[in-house]
Structure 1
Amino acid sequence: MHTTNSTPLDTRPQLQVRRLAMAHPGDLSALAALLDAGALQARDIVAVIGKTEGNGGVNDFTRGYFTQSLMGLLAARLGRPAEALVRELPCVLSGGTEGVLSPHYVVFARSGRPEGAEPATGEAALAIGTAMSAHTPAHEVGRWAQVAAVADAVRAAMRDAGIARAEDVAFVQLKTPCVTSARAQAAAAEGHAVLTADPGRSMAYARAAGAFGTAIALGELPDDAALEPALLRDFEHFSSRASVSCGVEVECNEVIVLGHSRRWQGPLRMGCAPMRDALDIAAVGAALSAVGLRARPQLAAEDASRIAAVFVKCEPDRRGQVRGARHTMLDDTDINAQRHIRGAVGALVAGVLGDPRIFVSGGAEHQGPDGGGLVAVIAHV
């Protein structure tokens, strides 16, 4: 009797990560080309993280422009309203491509969903999960209610990824809403007082709340509402895996969790390391080492080609010094401090990688050590 040996088909989901250039904040031509060629399926896209060339401030409308363009493209391909997609698909954007930073966006697509229990053996692959909280009222921004909502959303995103253990989470990207003048007035009309009516200050509080919520979900901080006064005050409290952006274009907390699970397959892995200050080039090396790469002092071209995406958070040291030397970022009335730090840290990381396509976001309150931040790398191994 003739028999045929066959290998069981691996049905575990796999993550695809595509880093795409943009000619302007509404340019989705690179993504459209991939969809046209069948290299990506619109139905598989679950999240987008991008870097636009705006000012990164409250009035940075490049983020909304890109989001509108993205949802319009996907709506046409999926036959669904853009208004519905924007409530389901996290689109986390950071404005400001100072210095050598290059505008780009990273598309995350997954085939299938993680099913069943995690196998006891086998290598874990990069996994993704997403979640969105309920609408965040203006009077909850920067308060414990937002912290709790973020913690719940991070846990939901972990479940979506099939990641059961917090230690298997490599990186959490969030987008949180802020308080605008109009939102503050609307809250007052309903009898609510906002924490701050200053839009810029509210963005800082929202990022802090996002970091605290992530830290609680990952077991880095206790779930204790008594910690609320520590927001933007006690910077010894932080998450070493949270990257939080904030903007007027969102009204809820959007969460993207990336980690490793044996329920997934594929060649992608991720490394994340906290930066102790703006000159911490060793942290870049640590993140690279976690995915099997080494810079001597810059990555070789063949190694750089293995990198799928890089995400960085940074913060001007509020003590006014970097390694004992005075800096002037906080006192410059011509250039915003966040633009200074994005340009500086972006150049440092790009110099190691030999590639300016890096997501570098300022406003790292409670995201990594005070005056530092974090760096995360996705690579093919």
Structure 2
Amino acid sequence: MTRRARVLRLATAGPGDAAALGAAIDAGEVDPATIVAIVGKTEGNGCVNDFTRGYATLALKLLLAERLKCAPAEIEKRVAIVMSGGTEGGLSPHLLVFCREAVTAVSSGPRLAIGIGLTRAFRPEEIGRTPQVEETAAAVKLAMMDAGIVSPSDVHFVQIKCPLLTKGRIEEALGRGETVATDDTYHSMAVSRGASALGVALALDEVKDVPEQAICRDWSLYSSVASTSAGVELLRNEIVVLGNAPGWAGDLVIGHDVMKDAIDAEAARRVLAGIGGATVAVLAKAEASPSGEIRGRRHTMLDDSDIHSTRHARALVGGVLAGVIGDTMLYVSGGAEHQGPAGGGPVAIIGRV
């Protein structure tokens, strides 16, 4: 049997809204047993205390557990659920449901391939440090094997949900005589994202070595396809590898490019031109340029004490991409440490051919 990837893009009315997915299952549009990953945007603040991500994750687990007649804990073993908080600007909350189906048809060329990888749970002292880099790299390689992708050049997007440090987790580690990468819970999101992204870069041979002191310091080290999102709702890294590979059927392909800065609309246009077909999903990273400038013009995103820069960046990049795509239902994730060049980030588009 040949595998076929399918992607459903479903609007949500709130973080706990799984009704559209439930309706698709009930209508026979999707077999819940074929769902391997769900990636989505929720309307929280995207910060440490954004519980909309966990709320959405729980709602999806409960729905799938009911339909598959299993315990919610079993869903954690079979479906990677990656919720990214923050729909600033015009971004529209939604879910991207990734399915792998067994079919008899054979495609005429490489088609969208999906692979899943999971790391072990990290101890607080490992987050943002070498163990997270190395474990992520190993899991990415396993996810490539799961997808049947041989060459790193055929990988176009690696979506990762990674943990963060809370005050309780920090105190637990200190109580055991350990140290942590940072005692700033918000900054822990950055170092976790950065370590995870460098794990992708290591797995795909984009970098040869990742010194621990380079994490969130040496911006010359990055992955052109990594997208990492930190959350309080998990302790492991959940990894979704998307690429093109032979042996997959269907009419979907994926392409990517790298935005050199937050207003690099041409990167998205190049991807669209390469795919040529109807747009099914858009995934991108966004960050405020750490230099404080965009093409020589000063920006104030890093100086705003009321709204964090990651929120500004999502709104900015979301607006740029919405203008190109003609749609606001875009997965734009903030915080692009080691995900593309400083101030920029990868953009991937899944299209129908």
Q: TM-score, normalised on structure 2?
A: 0.97
Structure 2 residue aligned with 1:106, among 70, 83, 96?
96
Match of 2:287 in 1: 315
Match of 2:341 in 1: 369
Structure of greater Rg: 1
Match of 1:301 in 2: none
Match of 1:16 in 2: 6
Map 1:225-244; keep pairs closer than 5 Å. Answer: 225=210, 227-244=211-228
Map 1:194-343; keep pairs closer than 5 Å. Answer: 194-222=180-208, 224-225=209-210, 227-292=211-276, 306-343=278-315
Gaps of 5+ in 1: 1-10, 294-305
Q: Is the 8 A contact 1:88 1:132 kept in 2?
A: no
Q: Is the 8 A contact 1:100 1:347 kept in 2?
A: yes
Deviations 1:23-52 (A, max 9, x none): 011111110111001110110000000000
For the residue of structure 2 that corresponds to 1:202, the secondary structure is helix
Say if 2:162 is the partner of 1:176. yes
Whole-angstrom distance in 1 between the partners of 2:333 and 2:156: 18
Structure 1 residue aligned with 2:323, among 351, 361, 371?
351
Q: Is the 8 A contact 1:144 1:209 kept in 2?
A: yes
Deviations 1:85-123 (A, max 9, x none): 124321111111111110001000111399xxxx9x951
Superposition deviation, residue 192 in structure 1: 1.6
Aligned-CA RMSD value:
1.5
Moved over 2 A (4+): none
Structure 2 residue aligned with 1:60, among 50, 54, 62?
50
Whole-angstrom distance in 2 between the partners of 1:48 and 1:356: 19
Match of 2:179 in 1: 193
Deviations 1:201-220 (A, max 9, x none): 11100011011100011110
Deviations 1:57-93 (A, max 9, x none): 0000000000000000000111111022124321111
Whole-angstrom distance in 2 between the partners of 1:278 and 1:113: 40
Superposition deviation, residue 127 in structure 1: 0.5
Match of 2:130 in 1: 144
Q: Which amino acid aligns with 2:70?
A: R
Q: Is the 8 A contact 1:315 1:362 kept in 2?
A: yes
Gaps of 5+ in 2: none
Superposition deviation, residue 165 in structure 1: 1.6
Whole-angstrom distance in 1 between the partners of 2:273 and 2:63: 37
For the residue of structure 2 that corresponds to 1:361, the secondary structure is strand
Q: Is the 8 A contact 1:157 1:256 kept in 2?
A: yes
Q: Which amino acid aligns with 1:212?
A: L
Deviations 1:256-307 (A, max 9, x none): 00111111111100111111101101111112122115xxxxxxxxxxxx21
For the residue of structure 2 that corresponds to 1:290, the secondary structure is helix
Superposition deviation, residue 336 in structure 1: 1.3
Q: Is the 8 A contact 1:147 1:213 kept in 2?
A: yes
Q: Is the 8 A contact 1:270 1:290 kept in 2?
A: no
Say if 2:56 is the partner of 1:70. no
Match of 1:162 in 2: 148
Whole-angstrom distance in 2 between the partners of 1:367 and 1:30: 31
For the residue of structure 1 that corresponds to 2:10, the secondary structure is strand
Whole-angstrom distance in 2 between the partners of 1:281 and 1:268: 23
Q: Which amino acid aligns with 1:235?
A: W
For the residue of structure 2 that corresponds to 1:86, the secondary structure is helix
Q: Which amino acid aligns with 1:173?
A: Q
**1:113–1:164 CA distance, 2 compared to 1 (3 A):** farther
Q: TM-score, normalised on structure 1?
A: 0.90
Q: Which amino acid aligns with 1:102?
A: S
Q: Is the 8 A contact 1:276 1:373 kept in 2?
A: yes
For the residue of structure 2 that corresponds to 1:245, the secondary structure is strand
Single out whichever of 82-91 and 196-205 deviates more from structure 2: 82-91
Whole-angstrom distance in 2 between the partners of 1:201 and 1:221: 24
Q: How many residue pairs align between the two structures?
A: 352
Whole-angstrom distance in 2 between the partners of 1:186 and 1:80: 33
Taking only the aligned residue pairs, the percentage that are identical comes to 48
For the residue of structure 1 that corresponds to 2:120, the secondary structure is strand
